[in-house]
Amino acid sequence: MGKRVLLIEDEPNIIEAISFILSRDGWTVHTHEDGQTAMEKITATPPDMIILDVMLPGRSGFDILRDLRDHDVSKDIPVMMLTAKGQDKDRELALRLGANHFMTKPFSNADVRDHVRSLIGA
């Protein structure tokens, strides 16, 4: 059985691209678009990995990451953060809050696939 990735992202083009890239590589990809209810989704069925956008409706990815690392169910789940901004201060904050990797948009298909593989040991 393939590993499960939860993609928390609100841009349809990004959702479609990442879902395609990872599904083609054998992953099961679940998606969620709302920052306000993201923790409920994560704790209901914890994934093997989370790809988390920084800017989401309802709550920021940074707030969600903070909650992830404070919750027993999700504290050890690998998290790759995505952002369109890519500023050093955002990268530093994400890593300080416990992100395992930080990637800027646009990204290459190979980079997404390779980082997911390395983060969940596949």
Task: Spell out the domain ranges in the chain.
Answer: 4-117
What was the pLDDT predicted at 84?
A: 85
pLDDT in tens, 47-81: 999 999 999 999 999 999 999 999 999 999 999 99
The structure tokens listed for 40 are 């409920």
Rounded to an integer, the average pLDDT of 5-11 is 97
- pLDDT-based confidence at residue 122 (cuts at 50, 70, 90): low
CA 81/CA 93 separation, integer angstroms: 11
Q: How many residues does the chain have?
A: 122
Interacting residues of 92 by C-beta distance below 8 A, sequence separation 6+ = none
pLDDT in tens, 85-119: 768 899 999 999 999 999 998 899 999 999 999 99
What was the pLDDT predicted at 55?
A: 94
Yes or no: say if 41 and 32 are a contact pair by the CB < 8 Å rule: yes
CATH homologous superfamily for 4-117? Response regulator (3.40.50.2300)
